Amino acid sequence: MKKQRNKITTDKKIKNKKWSPLIVFLVLITINILASFCYFRVDLTSEKRYSLAPATKNVLKNLDDYVYFQVFLDGKLSPSYKRLQKTIIETLEEFRAHNKKLIKYDLINPAKDKDESTLRNYLKELEYRGLVPSIDYEMTETGSSENIVWPCAIVTYKGRELPINFIYSNIPGSKEQLINDAIENTEYKLIDGIYRITLKEKSKIAFIQGHGELDALEINDLAMSLLDYYIVNQIAINHQLKALDGFKAIIIAAPDSTFDELDKFIIDQFIMKGGRVLWLIDGALADMDSLQDKPDILSIPNDINLDDMLFNYGVRVNKDLIMDYHSAPIPVKTGQVGNQPQFSFFNWYFFPTVSNIKGHPIVRNINDIKFEFASSLDTIAKPGIKKTILLASSNYSRILNTPSIISLNFLRIKADRSFFNRSNIPMAVLLEGSFTSLYKDRIPDTIAKDPEIKFSEYSQPNRMIVIGDGDVAKNQVIYRQGKYIPYPLGYDRYTGIMYGNREFLLNCVNYLLDEADIISIRNRDISIRLLDKRKVEINQAVIKIINIALPLAIVCFCGILISYIRKQNNKKKISKL
Q: Kindly report, residue by residue over 373-419, the tens digit of the pLDDT.
A: 999 999 999 999 999 999 999 999 999 999 999 998 888 887 788 89
* Count of CA atoms in the C-beta half-sphere (13 A) of 159: 0
Q: Return the exposure string of 483-514: e unless at least 16 CB atoms fall within 10 Å of the residue's CB, then b.
A: eeebbbbbbbeeeebbbbbbbbbbbbbbbbbe
Which pTM was predicted? Answer: 0.75
Same domain, residue pair 431 and 573: no
pLDDT at 275 over 60: yes
Choosing from 478, 505, 522, the residue where a domain stops is: 522
Choosing from 522, 547, 568, the residue where a domain stops is: 522
Q: Which residues fall within 8 angstroms of residue 47, CB to CB, at 6 or more apart?
A: 525, 526, 527
Same domain, residue pair 146 and 255: no
Separation CA 560–CA 555 (nearest Å): 9
Mean pLDDT over all residues of the chain? 85
Packing angle, helices 79-98 and 175-184, rounded to 10: 10
Residue 89 lies in a domain: yes
Separation CA 436–CA 312 (nearest Å): 7
Q: Give the strand pairing for 249-253 and 230-236.
A: unpaired
Choosing from 196, 214, 236, the residue where a domain stops is: 196
Same domain, residue pair 182 and 207: no
Q: Which residues fall within 8 angstroms of residue 71, CB to CB, at 6 or more apart?
A: 85, 88, 89, 92, 105, 106, 107, 108, 152, 153
Confidence band for 538, pLDDT divided at 50, 70 and 90? low
Cis? peptide before 403, omega within 30° of 0: yes
* Count of CA atoms in the C-beta half-sphere (13 A) of 457: 8
Same domain, residue pair 187 and 221: no
Q: Give me the number of domains the chain comprises.
A: 3
Residue 413 lies in a domain: yes
| CATH number for the domain that contains residue 83 | 3.40.30.10
Same domain, residue pair 185 and 214: no
Separation CA 247–CA 264 (nearest Å): 16
Same domain, residue pair 207 and 228: yes
Q: Which residues fall within 8 angstroms of residue 456, CB to CB, at 6 or more apart?
A: 269, 272, 273, 437
Q: Which of 267-281, 384-398, 484-498 has the lowest mean pLDDT?
A: 484-498
96 by DSSP, 3-state: which?
helix
Q: Which residues, in sequence order, are bridge partners of residue 463?
A: 432
Q: What is the pLDDT of residue 352?
A: 95
pLDDT at 433 over 90: yes
Nearest residue to 235 (alpha-carbon basis) of 197, 277, 272, 194: 277
Dmax (CA) for the chain in angstroms is: 119
Q: Which residues fall within 8 angstroms of residue 111, CB to CB, at 6 or more apart?
A: 75, 119
What domain range includes position 212? 203-522
Same domain, residue pair 398 and 367: yes
Run of H or E including 331: strand 327-337
Confidence band for 2, pLDDT divided at 50, 70 and 90? very low
Same domain, residue pair 64 and 148: yes
Q: What is the pLDDT of residue 562?
A: 83
Average pLDDT score over residue span 218-224: 94
Nearest residue to 78 (alpha-carbon basis) of 194, 179, 164: 179
Residue 3 lies in a domain: no
Same domain, residue pair 318 and 267: yes
Same domain, residue pair 263 and 371: yes
Same domain, residue pair 121 and 255: no
